[in-house]
Every structure is written in C-alpha cells, then in structure tokens.
Structure 1
Amino acid sequence: MSRFLIVLLVLCFMSCNTKEVKIKEMPTKSEKIVIAHRGASGYLPEHTLPAKAMAYGMNVDFIEQDIVLSKDNVPIVIHDIHLETVTDVAIKFPDRSRADKKFYVIDFTFEELKQLNVSERFDPATNEAIFPNRFPLFKSNFKIHSLQDEIELIQGLNKSTGRNIGIYPEVKEPEFHQKEGKDISKIVLNILMEYGYKTKNDHCILQCFNAKELKRIRNEFKSELFLVQLIEFEEEELRLEEFAKYADGIGPWIQQIIKGKGVNGKWLISDLVINAHKNNLKVHAYTFRADQLGGFETFDELLNVALYEANIDGVFTDFPDKVVGFINKN
C-alpha cells in the first residue's frame, strides 16, 4: 500500500468520526492548544506523513515538525540528527556510519534518504521497540519526507477541509549544522517564508532548544514569527526575563512544572508557569503520553493537573485525540 493511499485512508477514517469541524484561528490568551508531537505518534511511526494526516484528522491546533538538513541542504522532518533509531539505514547503507557508529542525516542526499524504510522508534542495540504497545516495528510502508512535503500536505488539507491547522517546526541542533558548514535556520526560514509563514498571525510557531540561535532568528534574521524557547534544565527557569526579550513562549519538560506528590497526596506544582505568564510568555509543555503516565493514575488526571491546576497554555502529545477530547469536555 502506498504512503499516499495510507494518508487518504487515515484521513477519511478520522474525518468520518469527527462530529463537528471548527475553523481555528490563532489561539487567544485563555485557550488551550493541542500540538501533535511528531504527528499522531502514539498510533503511527513518528514524523511520517500518515502520522501527520492522522493528527490532522484529530482536529489539533498545530502539528510539529523536527527539522534536520540532508547533505544536499533539504530540510528533513525527523527527530534526531541521526537515522539508526527509526530507519533501516544500517541494512541499506551499512558502511555509511561515522566513528561513533551512528548514521547521520547530513551524510545522505535526499534521494538516498527516500530509499530508507521508517519504523516505530527502536533501540538499535537490541532491536526492541521503545514503546512496545505501539505500531509494530517495520510493518507497512513509511518513508522519510521533506519539510516542503509536509507543509504542502497540511496546507492542502486546510484548503480541502476548510480548517486552519498550523505548523510547529523545530530547528534541531543548529550548532552541529554550523560545524558541518550549514546554516539550518536560514534555510528553514526561507522555506517558511516561501509558503507564507512570516508573522505571528500565520499559524506557524517556531521552536528551538538553543537560546543563542533562537535569539539570532529574532534579531539577525528579523523573524516576526511566534517563537518558543524550549527548555529542559532548572537553571533555565531563572532566565525567563531574558527569554521574553526575543521569545513569545517557553516549552518546558512537564516535570519542570509538576514536581511529584506532597505529603498530603496532592501534586506539587512549581512557579514556572506563573513566572512565565508574568513575563508574557505562553507555556507549551512536553511530552504528554497516555502510555507513560509518570505516576498519574490516568491520562485525564495528568491533563487536568497540567492544564487547569498548573494552567499551562498548550500540550505536546503523542495522543492528540485524547487531549482534544479531554479539553472539549472541560
């Protein structure tokens, strides 16, 4: 079955099960947004077009794209700068690894990358799935695609369905790319502008873990997009005032917000969201997984604490349908 037929079948199934379709505008301050983390990655292999089509059918607000450059400067939608955890590259190109035994996207042309089969994420040392209850390893037919491929899919679906679902690209490892002689931010921004993503009103949120690079995107490239500073360490929580000078939001790890249970059995919530809001920063937290609850009894309990007790503004999730359904009933 071709990947495009899979896309059409998945979209048809999801659309037929959607009771009401609402055309979405950019979220207001009070709205909670749902970001499909690598697509509907709880159900289909991450960052594949079928996973993105399925997420679209779930009527999310934004669909995420992690971006890495190929050897010939094509922006590839894949989570890591290397390939061996989600593809059969070690079988197709066994002699193309570097000294660290990893196979890097940047060492392959786009035409070569399209020869690879994509799978659910696995440990290359054991060939065991990271999430064993998700889609079976190396079943069906999934391929690598470019940022342009995905934008055209989402924009095409926006036209044919009347929705207005946004994109949420991440510039991955900018310093690595610079050491390889490539300016990933410049390439990504040029493509976004070609497809009409230029300002905060264009349904595109751009994210990066590298603060220096995100600041460069705002100041050197004069980008007017909605920018989100991704964070993962406690010391970064002290830099909110600095982030607010160039970013519109932060993307923290959920465990930076929910700190476990207190002696009274209630969940402990940090001041990160309160302090971010004081600096006019939205908070889009990662990653919410129904099969990785982190001490919560149910996924709904986790969502309720994060969205309504901690008051985060948005959720990165592998299970977009569950979060959309939860928000719609609250």
Structure 2
Amino acid sequence: MRAHSSPIVIGHRGACGYRPEHTRQAYELAFQLGADFVEPDIVATKDGVLVLRHENEISGTTDVAQRPEFARLRTTKEVDGEVLTGWFTEDFTWEQLATLRARERLGALRQASASFDDQHPILKLAHLFDIVDAWAEESDRELGIVAEIKHASYFESIGLPLDELFADAVHKVGWADEAGRLVIESFEKTVLRKVRERGVRGSRVYLVAAEGAAFDLVAASGAAAMSYAQEIDEGGLYRLATQQGCSAIDGISVDKAMLLDAETESGISDLVDRAHAVGLALFTWTLRPENAFLAGPFRSDQGDAAFGHWQHEFRTIMSTGVDGVFADHPDLAISVRDELA
C-alpha cells in the first residue's frame, strides 16, 4: 500500500475539471489520475437520502429546469441568509432525483467538461463509498473521502438532521471507524461535534472562509457571532486546538487566498505555521488552473477560460507546508507536488 505524499491531493468533487462534478465518472477519473481522496458535498432529499450536489439548489448542476414534470417544484427559499430561487433537493424524493442528469456547473469556462452534460445520473452518498472501496481494492492504495456536510443548520430546521443521516449512512457501510480514510468537514462546527457524538471516528476539519462568520454561530448569537477571522487569529487557533471531547477538531481548511500574502517577501502568509504550531492540520481550497480562478500575479492575458501560470501558484501554495489541497484537476496538482518532492 502506497503511503500518501505530502500534501495529499483531494479530487474536488471528483475530477470536476474534466467531468461534471459529483458524477461517478468524475470520481473514478480522480482516482485514475492519482488523487488520494475525493470530496463530495452532501445534502438531503425529502425522504432523507443523502445525495451529492454542490448545493441543495440544483438548477445549475442538473437538467431539472428542462423537466416539465418538476416545474411545479420551482420555488424561492432563504438558505443560510441567502435568498435563492430554483429547485431544491429537499423538495424531491430520491426516486425523483434519480431521474435527473448532471451538468457542469462551470460550463461557460469548461466546455470540455460540459460536453458530458446530461449523460450521467446524480449519486447518493452510498454510491461513493462503493466507488472508493472498489478503487482502493483494485489499485491497492489507501483511498479516502473528505465529506463536506452542507447547510447543516438549515436542514435541521426543516426536519432533516444531517448529522443523524450522515452517521447512519457511515455506520451502514462500515466506515464509522475509518479514521484514516474518512474526513468530515463543514463550515459549521456544531455538526462536526454532533457527528462525533454519533460514533463516527473520522478526522474533523473546520472550513473557514476569508470573510463572514459561521452560520451556526450567527443563528445562535446574531451580530455578536465570532467571525471566521477571529476564529483563526492567534487566540482563536489555540481555542480550536484545545477543545476537548466531542468538540475537538483535527484541522482547518481555508480559502487559498488566505495562504497568499503579497506583502511578504515569500508571497505567503504564516497561517500554516501558526496552525501547525498548535497541532492543527491545514487544508486549502481550491487549486484551479484557469485564469478566472488564479490570483492576480499568476494570470495570463489569454482570457478567463485559458490556463494561466497555474504551476507557479500551485507551487507557491504547496511550499507553505499545507497538509492537503483540493484540486479540480488532480493530475495537475500531483505534477507540482512531485516536482517539489
């Protein structure tokens, strides 16, 4: 069995730079290209089935808008403070969702991926466990899942507690004790604690955005909620690292922009070093080669969809000592990791 190199490369929603995200083809291609882990986004259906979609609003990632039988389900909702209009997974049964076909969310930039639109069905979380187990056995590699639980407070408010549904699914497939192969992440620490209380032993990673505050904290404290920035300042990192019992987390995962700092000679911040100093792992998202997603110094003048100086940006980020990177094109991230090694 091959030990993971550092940093680990996580296929972001599979290899979504090449195939529509969260499809079987995207996940299998990610492993074929060498990814160590893959990352699903997890939301729920009306009947409590966990499905893999970027968001619970699915008009941009499926063909639902072209399906007249579901026109009546179009609606407007507020999710984590954002008003959205479209179609939502929690208004469908799994049987209904299974009839939809996946589409590339960034099709305007990724025509190659979008050429596979409408060819592949939506997956349940249970399907992904089967995919990972099969590829691990075939390749004799330790492959894993970084599972992002989305909008936990919102789903709990409508009677679909994702911590309970996720724990039940993990126990059912025998992954509850797979600490080395299962990472659970969320922008809400509350759901990470609840999943641990339900006996799931995977590592827990707290997602941290560059701006704003966690919705579970906002729901509890309103304007007084601690911001993400405060949660990862000097005192905040120490508090995160020293929480005890089911409240403990193993690491944080941050926007890649938080690792880049044009004001320093190296062009990088000290966030990785500060996290490691208190015993926290640090992951970052998302490595993408297109100009539209690269930081300013790494862009070329060829247009948003063209690849810019991605090797330079990837190399700069990996040189921080980060423990894991999420990448839409896992092979590109691996090529830079191997070069640095």
What TM-score comes out, normalization by structure 2 length? Answer: 0.81
Q: What does residue range 67-82 of structure 1 map to in structure 2 within 5 Å?
A: 67-82=42-57
2:267 aligned counterpart, secondary structure = strand
- Percent identity between the aligned chains? 28
* 1:258 aligns with one of 252, 260, 264: 260
Residue 230 of structure 2: aligned partner = 235
Question: What is residue 181 of structure 1 aligned with on the other side?
Answer: 159
Change (3 A) 1:273 1:200: farther
Structure 1 residues 280 and 130, CA gap change in structure 2 (3 angstroms):
farther
CA offset at residue 134 of structure 1?
Answer: 4.0
Correspondence list, 1:41-60, <5 A: 41-60=16-35
Which amino acid in the other structure matches residue 147 of structure 2? P
Q: Deviations over 1:143-183 (max 9, x none)?
A: 10101111101111222232221111111111111111011
Q: Secondary structure at the match of 2:146?
A: strand
Separation (CA, whole Å) in 2 of partners of 1:56 and 1:35: 9
- Matching residue's letter, 2:74: S
Question: Partners in 1 of 2:113 and 2:283 — Cα distance?
Answer: 26
- Tell me, yes or no, if the aligned pair for 1:117 and 1:138 is still in contact at 8 Å: no
Match of 2:18, SS state, is: coil
Runs of 4+ aligned residues of structure 1 deviating over 3 Å after TM superposition are 137-140, 199-202
> Take 1:294 and 1:53, find their aligned partners in 2: how far apart are those partners?
29
- Structure 2 CA distance, aligned partners of 1:139 and 1:76? 18
Length-normalised TM-score, structure 1: 0.83
2:71 alignment partner in structure 1: 94
Q: CA deviation at 1:327?
A: 1.2
Alpha-carbon deviation of 1:130?
4.5
2:332 is matched with: 322
Q: Which amino acid aligns with 1:62?
A: F
CA distance in 1 between counterparts of 2:140 and 2:274 reads 37
Cα displacement string for residues 211-264 of structure 1 (whole angstroms, at most 9, x for unaligned residues): 22223333x3343211101000323323222322211111000111113x23x8
Q: Would the aligned equivalents of 2:102 and 2:117 in 1 still touch at CA under 8 Å? A: no
Q: 1:255 to 1:111 in 2, by over 3 A?
A: same
Kept after mapping to 2: 8 A contact 1:229/1:243: no
2:143 is aligned, of 149, 165, 168, to: 165
| Letter aligned with residue 32 of structure 1 | P
Superposition map of 1:105-254 within 5 A: 105-121=89-105, 129-136=107-114, 139=117, 141-199=119-177, 201-218=179-196, 220-232=197-209, 233=211, 234-238=229-233, 239-244=236-241, 245=243, 246-254=248-256
- 2:16, 2:329 within 8 Å by CA — same for their partners in 1? yes
Match of 2:310 in 1: 299
Greater share of helix: 2
Q: Within 1, Cα distance between the matches of 2:330 and 2:120? A: 20
2:339 and 2:171 mapped to 1: Cα distance?
37
Q: 1:179 to 1:268 in 2, by over 3 A?
A: same
Letter in structure 2 aligned against 1:190: D
CA apart distance, 1:141: 0.6
Q: Give the drift of 1:273.
A: 1.1
Is the 1:199–1:226 Cα contact (8 Å) retained in structure 2?
Answer: no
Q: 1:133 to 1:267 in 2, by over 3 A?
A: farther
Distance 1:105 1:212, change over 3 A: same
The answer for unaligned runs of 5 or more in structure 1 is: 1-22, 123-128
